[in-house]
Amino acid sequence: MTRSNSHILRLDSSAPDFTERLDALLSRETDTGADVQELVAGILTDVKRRGDAALYEYTSRFDGWNCNADEMLITRERMRQAWQAVSDTDREALELATQRIRAYHKHQLQQDWEFTDEAGLTLGQRITPLDRVGLYVPGGKAAYPSSVLMNAVPAVVAGVEEIVMVVPTPGGEMNELVLAAAYISGVQRGFAVGGAQAVAALAYGTESIPAVDKIVGPGNKFVAAAKRQVFGTCGIDMIAGPSEIVVVADGGNPAWIAADFLSQAEHDEAAQSILISTDARLLDQVAESIEAHLQVLPRAAIARASVETHGALIHVHNDDEAAFAVNRIAPEHLELALEDPDALLPKIRHAGAILIGHFVPEALGDYIAGPNHVLPTNRTARFSSPLGVYDFQKRSSVIRASRTGVEAIGPAAAHLAHREGLQAHALTLELRLKDGA
């Protein structure tokens, strides 16, 4: 294991300890330690007990401004004013993104279904939307109107009746583009509060903020810890960790690949960027281009800390080794910048979003392509999926049966109930099976 001239870790899949080294790279300290969990637990309890009063105090402490119920509320009219205030170019971009996100997510709508089996029972599934969801919008190191669109639009498509947004406002300053995105995407009302206290308000409800059925949207480690702790009181989408990207390349423009590599690194110092290639010379060229980009990018200090602490350039020797590495990493974003990406694609089992070809950088998916950019991180793509309409819909099973149907299968059910020692269960069936019932 060596480091390049750009101080980025280099790994080789032929090394006997490659898997061990890769696993060590992936075992970042990205989740919340006991100190954060304890702090968050205290905030949750406080907001649950004192409601708005606790929110005002935490907003003053963490965001540096004194608010009240009126100042905390972001009305639909305030969002409309922001929509009118942003530039024509802003509105056009938000409109196009909203249209494309809506069009994609309409394909995810689930439908009711039924069938009648050989015993005469009609079995089915009924789909219903959630009543109210809470959307957490990050507002720390950067503001993300795209996150508003990606969370709110699928909820609207799913048929959610009410979408409530919370967003931190350091110094009391509202981000107009975030409010404009909330307006066009269908958010009914918002609140200028963030952090674990906002998650608590959404989960438990306060005098001003209604309790929701599900909380969606990414945040910092305090938000992640709060979402983890309120799960069960309400639903959550996922525990979001730092951003990740894996680029698999066998050629192409090193400057393009280097930019893609850095696209997630600029989010924060804990983000992870990995390049995998069968071409060792390409790895060297990309490393040089990464350094060149870091000389001019505005967020270069953040990106450099990310790639030098968590990044890697991995030399593999064939597609099977590339696929092994990708599936081991289970990345949030996966770019297949390959001449024949469809040769590798069937071997990929674990990835949040797969971007195929040299002309599909991760940023295209982040903003405008249509699929959701809220994706599983921290290797959870092994068992999780991108946010979608299905996160805002519930499934209820439906069973219809006549006496004939119960006669066909009821005796077996009663037998199993007796075997489990649940005689009342069995009795419910046996009474219905009696002659003349």
pLDDT at position 241, please? Answer: 86
Does the residue 122 lie in any domain? yes
Last residue of a domain, one of 190, 207, 236: 236
Domain assignment of residue 73, given as a range: 34-236
- Please report which confidence band the pLDDT of residue 34 belongs to, taking 50, 70 and 90 as the band edges: confident
Three-class SS state of 411: helix
Q: What are 283-331's pLDDT values in tens digits?
A: 999 999 999 999 999 999 999 999 999 999 999 999 999 999 999 999 9
pLDDT at position 435, please? Answer: 65
Burial annotation 194-207 (CB, 10 A radius, 16+ → b, else e): bbbbbbbbbbbbbe
Arithmetic mean of pLDDT, 225-246: 95
Q: Are 231 and 259 found together in one domain?
A: no
- Please report which confidence band the pLDDT of residue 142 belongs to, taking 50, 70 and 90 as the band edges: low
333 annotated active-site: yes
pLDDT at position 4, please? Answer: 45
List the one residue out of 92, 11, 66, 430 whose CA is nearest residue 58: 66
Q: Is the pLDDT of residue 141 over 90?
A: no
Q: What are 367-395's pLDDT values in tens digits?
A: 999 999 999 999 999 999 999 999 999 99
Q: Are 261 and 353 found together in one domain?
A: yes
Q: Are 273 and 209 found together in one domain?
A: no
DSSP 211: P
Q: Are 373 and 150 spatial neighbours (Cβ–Cβ below 8 Å)? A: yes
332 annotated active-site: yes
Q: How many domains does the chain have?
A: 3
Does the residue 392 lie in any domain? no
Catalytic residue among 333, 350, 358, 373: 333
List the one residue out of 300, 308, 142, 309 whose CA is nearest residue 220: 142
Does the residue 390 lie in any domain? no
Q: Are 184 and 103 found together in one domain?
A: yes
Q: Are strands 132-136 and 214-216 parallel, antiparallel or unpaired?
A: parallel
Q: Are 253 and 180 found together in one domain?
A: no
Q: Are 63 and 133 found together in one domain?
A: yes
Q: Are 9 and 56 found together in one domain?
A: no
pLDDT, averaged across the chain: 95
Q: Is the pLDDT of residue 30 over 80?
A: no
Does the residue 396 lie in any domain? no
Q: What are 67-118's pLDDT values in tens digits?
A: 999 999 999 999 999 999 999 999 999 999 999 999 999 999 999 999 999 9
Q: Is the pLDDT of residue 63 over 80?
A: yes
Q: Are 208 and 131 found together in one domain?
A: yes
CA-to-CA separations, 26 to 249, 306, 331, in angstroms, rounded: 20, 13, 10
Three-class SS state of 87: coil
Catalytic residue among 321, 332, 335, 362: 332
Residue identified by tokens 């406080």 is 46
- Please report which confidence band the pLDDT of residue 240 belongs to, taking 50, 70 and 90 as the band edges: confident
Q: Are 281 and 338 found together in one domain?
A: yes
Q: Are 204 and 48 spatial neighbours (Cβ–Cβ below 8 Å)? A: yes
pLDDT at position 132, please? Answer: 98
Last residue of a domain, one of 236, 264, 295: 236
Three-class SS state of 108: coil
Arithmetic mean of pLDDT, 346-358: 98
Last residue of a domain, one of 216, 236, 256: 236
Q: CA-to-CA distance for 164 and 436, rounded, in angstroms?
A: 55
Q: Are 56 and 141 found together in one domain?
A: yes
- Please report which confidence band the pLDDT of residue 3 belongs to, taking 50, 70 and 90 as the band edges: very low
